[in-house]
Amino acid sequence: MERTLLSQKIKTDRELIATNTFELQMAKMPELMKRYSARQLDKTQQDIRYHIQFLIEAVSAKSPVLFANYLLWLKEILDNLGLPPEDLKMSIHYLADTLRGLYGADYEQDIAPIINDGLQKLEITEVHTETFLKAGLAHTELAKRYLAALLTGDRHQANEMIQAAVKSGIPIKEIYLQVFQNTQYEIGRLWQIGQITVAQEHYCTAASQFIMAQLYPYIFTVPNQGITVLATCVGRELHEIGLRMVTDLMELSGLNTYYLGANVPAGSIISAIKEQQADILAISATMTFHVSEVKALIDQIRTTEGGQDIKIMVGGYPFNIDGNLWKHVGADGYAADSETAVLLAYDLAKRS
Ligand code: B12
């Protein structure tokens, strides 16, 4: 079976696969019923669904690194919850058994190499995500003070720090990348290792969006070069700040942007491209399980009247894990961050 078809088949079968895997794990590891609370058993089932979602994307894109990165991320979370990595490994083994039983030769050819690579990485890799606010990086001290203010619930102080930094001459671009982006990554790390709550993450994220908006008088001052970039997150993607940073720095460089944010249906994106006469479409995805939606959206645009000419750039977490993923989704280019995204947009505009 062709690998796109195989990944679609796994998608269709995912509830069956999740149930069979969970039942197999409980049958082979009956002590889990005693060792785990009802909530942990529930989470184990939920995790199996996640394993399948990430695996589907890795199979479709022929990208072992997407699955291995997910396993290492989950290992770190489980470590911090005091759960042994052995449980995760066994869960992946039972998932493999279930998939082998369902797909036979297709399993051996297209799924086994990805699962085996992930298991091997789990075996040999010590995971300990380091702080994103490393000493020696530009503006780390400011980023640390900014995050400390947010974590104590003082967004006014955090806002004042940023306003003062801009007035002291620190370029907006540097504040975006070294302060906002790095503190968002650090917040993610702190959540992942159980040091902050979801509520704290939500507070900090909302506060940073508000503080970024206070900088708009500086951002919307640059003469427009007549190139329009329509920017959107794909499908059910909720992470929108990365894309917002991309469009803000584009505005600052003279590009005209039309930012749609998170959770936009494909039909609306396609009509907005026409209405805005966009030259470039920028698509963002953070969750790996949205990569196939990026591909489906690009396929749909390319088969829509007038959709062949628009240049399409992509970015976000999974594209940073696998540097070739942008080709798989059919984009014209990819950039790792908002600074290089601006350069890419000008480059794509020249090519159109
Ligand atoms: C804030 C946040 C949220 C918020 C988002 C709110 C919002 N309004 O955006 C909420 C609470 C909704 C959320 C939800 C979830 N989140 Co979250 N979230 C984050 C967090 C802490 C910060 C995201 C962020 O703002 N990053 C800062 C921006 C600037 O960085 P960026 O996105 O990478 O963008 C840069 C580049 O990638 C690039 N770029 C981005 N887009 C584009 C587009 C183009 C065209 C180009 C060229 C470049 C480009 O340029 C950007 C700027 O330089 C991250 C941590 C992290 N490492 O990012 C976790 C994180 C992404 N979340 C994570 C998870 C697991 C989830 C949930 C599944 C949690 C849950 N159990 O519900 C859900 C999934 C929601 C969904 N369906 O989309 C994990 C993902 C792990 C993984 N292995 O995939 C992370 C990494 C946290 C962690 N360390 O564990 N989250």
Q: Give, using CA atoms, the residue closest to atom 12 of ligand 1.
A: 238
pLDDT tens, N- to C-terminus, the chain (352 residues): 788 899 999 999 999 999 999 999 999 988 888 888 888 899 999 999 999 999 999 999 999 999 999 999 999 999 888 888 889 999 999 999 999 999 999 999 999 999 999 999 998 878 888 999 998 888 999 999 999 999 999 999 999 999 999 999 999 999 999 999 999 999 999 999 999 999 999 999 999 999 999 999 998 888 888 999 999 999 899 999 999 999 999 999 999 999 999 989 999 999 999 999 999 999 999 999 999 999 999 999 999 987 888 999 999 999 999 999 999 999 999 999 999 999 999 999 988 7
Given a contact cutoff of 8 angstroms between Cβ atoms, the answer to whether 352 and 345 are in contact is: no
What are the residues whose beta carbons fall under 8 Å from the beta carbon of 95, sequence distance 6 or more? Answer: 17, 21, 48, 51, 52, 55, 115
224-351 fold: Rossmann fold (3.40.50)
Residue 290 corresponds to which tokens in the numbers above? 């949205």
Q: Can you tell me which atom of ligand 1 is nearest the CA of 318? A: 84
Q: Which of 177, 183, 286, 342 to mutate to test the pocket of ligand 1 (most atoms within 8 A of CB)?
A: 286
- Atom number, ligand 1, closest to the C-alpha of residue 239: 9
CA 187 to ligand 1: nearest atom: 21
* Protein residue with least CA distance to atom 37, ligand 1: 316
Q: How many residues does the chain have?
A: 352
Write the residue with the smallest CA distance to atom 30 of ligand 1. Answer: 242
The pLDDT score that the predictor gives to residue 81 is 87
For residue 292, give every residue at least 6 positions away whose Cβ sits within 8 Å of its Cβ, in sequence order, or none. 7, 56, 57, 60
Spell out which residues line ligand 1, taking CB within 6 angstroms: 70, 73, 181, 184-185, 187-189, 191-192, 201-202, 205, 236-243, 245-246, 282-284, 286-288, 313-317, 320, 335, 337-338, 341
Give this prediction's pTM: 0.96
Ligand 1 centroid to residue 41 C-alpha, Å: 26
91: CA distance to ligand 1 center in Å?
26
Atom of ligand 1 nearest to the CA of 344: 47
- β-bridge mates for residue 231, sequence order: 259, 282
**Rounded to an integer, what distance in angstroms lies between the CA atom of residue 205 and that of residue 199?**
10
Architecture of the structural domain at 3-124: Orthogonal Bundle (1.10)
Residues contacting residue 71 through CB under 8 Å, at least 6 positions apart: 88, 92, 118, 119, 121, 122
Instruction: Return the domain boundaries, the chain.
Output: 3-124, 140-217, 224-351
Cα(61)–Cα(3) distance, integer angstroms: 8
As a CATH number, domain 140-217 is: 1.10.1240.10
